[in-house]
Amino acid sequence: MKYLPNLVVTSLTTLLLASCGNNDSTVSMEVRLTYNDNPYAVGETVYKGDTSVKFEKFYFYLSELQIGDQLVEEVMFCNAEDSTTMNYEWSWDKNSSTLSFCVGVDSLNNAMDPTSFDVGHPLSSANDMYWSWATKYRFLRIDGRSNPSGTLGSDDILLAWHTGKDELYRCIDLSVQLAGAIKGGDHLILEFDLDQLIQRMSLETESMTHTMADDYDIAVKLSNQLPRAFNIRVE
């Protein structure tokens, strides 16, 4: 039996170990819902004071995601119950210390016809995020229920927060939260903090908006909570 020289064996071992580690040519990102600093799964019951709250649908758009000077995603449809829409990966060969994005759909895309996109596209009508009556996209679609008694039941208050319209497009810069530069091999966690989102909302008197004239102020108030509801960290 012939044996490989020690130098060759050492080199092969180094290559194998490197291949088992993080891929230094990519950056990945997970979008994660949280409540009170804990991961939140759609359908779980949480509490705002004594009021029980359950989110049953949680859809939203993120647009113009930029790391450094690179636009890595033009538009992302996030369905909190579908992990494939909450996890992303990009080729990466630089160090960057800035990250920004917007919640919603930019005005150009907001004027598009959803039937013009393939089923797998974020703006496809298959995602059920288009208002045909308004010919615009919903930016957030949050459905659920709450009960001030602390127990969900037949007397729940229904929750439907559906925001849209160009004026409610909110852009967020999280660069100040980054401890250092984003580099190849990093895994980013983008947290959507639901506690911060609903903290200033009344679950009894501000539980419904479809961004129409009679509930537009609720849509504005909810949209204005978005900048404080997102956090970024590197794992």
Give the whole-angstrom CA distance, residue 79 versus residue 1: 57
Using CB atoms within 10 Å of the CB of residue 225, give its burial: 0 to 12 exposed, 13 to 18 middle, 19+ buried: middle
Dihedral angle at the C-alpha atoms of 111, 141, 81, 55, nearest 10 degrees? 180
Give pLDDT tens digits for 137-190: 999 999 999 999 999 999 999 999 999 999 999 999 999 999 889 999 999 999
Structure tokens given for 105: 């759909």
Parse the chain into domains and list their residue ranges: 19-234
Instruction: Compute the mean pLDDT over every residue in the chain, rounded to the nearest whole number.
Output: 91
* pLDDT of res. 42: 98
Phi first, then psi, for residue 7 (nearest 5°) are: -65, -40
The predicted model scores a pTM of 0.89
Distance CA 209, CA 67 (A): 33
